[in-house]
Amino acid sequence: SQKIEQNSEALNIQEGKTATLTCNYTNYSPAYLQWYRQDPGRGPVFLLLIRENEKEKRKERLKVTFDTTLKQSLFHITASQPADSATYLCALVGTGNQFYFGTGTSLTVIP
Amino acid sequence: TAGITQAPTSQILAAGRSMTLRCTQDMRHNAMYWYRQDLGLGLRLIHYSNTAGTTGKGEVPDGYSVSRANTDDFPLTLASAVPSQTSVYFCASSDGGTPGETQYFGPGTRLLVL
């Protein structure tokens, strides 16, 4: 079965720095990869989607890369702010629209 | 618009009792999903429905049942709750027309089975 691994440790970074979160996967070839943000006590909120034939996607301060050879996606938040503190989930999406979520990485941006 | 609403917000349930978690969306989305989220395991799909009148099993369907009588509602029933069903349950929906499309999540129901 597919396995998805995100940064196992919580990530703490200084305000203004770039946060980089990792999503590695095995035993699967997703057609898409999505990133979601989840705040405590709330449901996940969609941030970005990247397709298997795309290398990079950007949205404002967010950047996602997708390397199907390495089976890895990197999620970057540039010029990080305390308001970016949350848990970030990656999700693999198959061609049949099956979703498989990672366990998430908790990010804390320190003022 | 409200998006997706779930009820109740939280519940304590005695083992062996039944319970229905409610989920309603006002976006006229075709597809709806139920996930459970547990520490260290992430979100796992319980059941899904691609359109009204159809349902399918996800990764962890045992002990749960769903129905989809109309587009807006997708209730999840625990027939006889067990402590291992203690979790946070999220309902989600998507338009259902495009592979890889965004899922919209509700606020969750926190369930404790004793």
Q: Using one digit for the tens of pLDDT, what is the confidence trace for B84-113?
A: 999 999 999 998 777 778 899 999 999 999
Check residue B41 and give its pLDDT.
85
Closest approach of B38 to chain A, Cα-based (Å): 9
Mark the ranges of chain A whose per-residue pLDDT is less than 50: none
- Predicted local distance difference test score (pLDDT) of residue A105: 95
Q: What percent of chain B has pLDDT over 70?
A: 99
Q: Identify the band that residue B73 occupies on the pLDDT scale cut at 50, 70 and 90.
A: very high
- Which of residues B75 and A52 earns the better pLDDT score? B75
Q: Answer yes or no: are the C-beta atoms of A12 and A24 closer than 8 Å.
A: no
Q: Do A43 and B43 touch (CB under 8 A)?
A: no
Best B30, B43, B109 member to test A by mutation, with max A CBs in 10 Å, is B43
Chain A CB contacts of B59 under 8 Å are 100
Side-chain half-sphere CA neighbours of B15 within 13 A: 6
Tell me how many residue pairs between chain A and chain B have CB atoms under 8 A apart: 55
- Write out pLDDT tens, residues B3-35: 999 999 999 999 999 999 999 999 999 999 999
Check A104 against B102: CB less than 8 A apart: no
Tell me what pLDDT residue B1 has: 59
More reliable by pLDDT, B44 or A99: B44
- pLDDT at position A7, please? 78
pLDDT at residue number A45:
96
- Residue B13: enclosing H or E segment and its boundaries? strand B10-13
Both tokens of A7, joined, read 């940064």
The CA distance from A81 to the nearest CA of chain B, in Å, is: 24
Q: How much is the pLDDT for A98?
A: 78
Chain A residues near residue B105 by CB distance under 8 angstroms: 43-45
